[in-house]
Amino acid sequence: MVAYYFELPVQVPTIIREAAKAATTKIPIVMDAGSIDPVGEGLIASFARPGGNITGLTYSDSPERFAKELQVLKEAVGPISRVAILWDLDAEYYRRSWSPIMERAAGQLGLRILGPFQVRNAADIERAFVAMTEQGAEAVLVSAGSVGFPNRTRIGELGVRHRLPIVAAFKEFPHAGSLISYGPNRVAISRRAAAFAGKILKGSNPSELPVENPTTYDLVINLKTAKALGLTIPPALLIRADEVIE
């Protein structure tokens, strides 16, 4: 028997992750994008040797991923210097997990990070956009961990209203009206997770199966939103896109 632990498209609260870990130490658990910080959350001892009954794939928050998100945003929008973070998870979690790698990624591109602008419910979203605009944000990166994803259409609308191009990891955001997304391909993650389960069913010990980060990423661009924002997306970026919404 193998248990799957899913986390996408909306990230599972820490209490549920802890419950999954506490429920069993014997039944193998395969993460299907089940965490972005499995070591920090105490789910595994290390990526190379998880050391318990949990293995699989993370969702991967890394300087490389954030740098790429910010890079494609900058390519799409043109010269910008200030990017706001729309944050819908615990503030301490941002400080511990996102802030160091986000600041490093932004520094590589000459960008300044504003925020995070925290939203705890749908009513906070419009106030956050007003605050971001007042503080001089030129674009927004959305975390989409809880409140953001189910309110992605509203976020897309507010982005256009406030003239703030939005980048997110999930392709559902440009499908709902945001400008662009760049993030791990969830189908590829699930296929790889199934391969982990197959290895365990054939006798592999999950404690010895290295936890992996995603390797396949998708770039999605919404040209309707670009037009509404008065942007012309460079042809070179459109060619690289996995999907263009027209």
Q: Count how many Cα atoms sit within 13 Å of the Cα of residue 205 in the half-sphere of its side chain.
A: 7
Q: Are residues 107 and 165 in the same domain?
A: yes
Q: Are residues 111 and 227 in the same domain?
A: yes
Tell me the per-residue pLDDT of 113-137, one tens digit each, with 9 for 90 and over: 999 999 999 999 999 999 999 999 9
The torsion angles phi and psi of 126, rounded to 5 degrees, stand at -65, -40
Q: Which residue has the tokens 């997306």?
A: 233
- Please give the Cα distance from 144 to 88 (Å, whole number): 7
Per the structure, how many domains does the chain have?
2
Q: Are residues 144 and 90 in the same domain?
A: yes
pLDDT at 23: 64
Tell me the per-residue pLDDT of 13-65, one tens digit each, with 9 for 90 and over: 454 555 566 666 778 888 887 677 788 778 889 999 999 888 988 876 666 78
Lowest mean pLDDT among 6-15, 85-94, 127-136: 6-15
Give the residues across from 118 on adjacent strands.
Answer: 87
pTM above 0.85, yes or no: no
Q: Are residues 90 and 114 in the same domain?
A: yes
CA distances from 94 to 48, 86, 99, 132, 166 (A): 25, 11, 6, 17, 19
Q: Which residue has the tokens 């997770």?
A: 193
Q: Are residues 109 and 225 in the same domain?
A: yes
CATH of the domain at 117: 3.40.50.2300
Residue 8's domain comprises 3-60+185-216
Q: Are residues 97 and 204 in the same domain?
A: no
Q: Are residues 44 and 85 in the same domain?
A: no
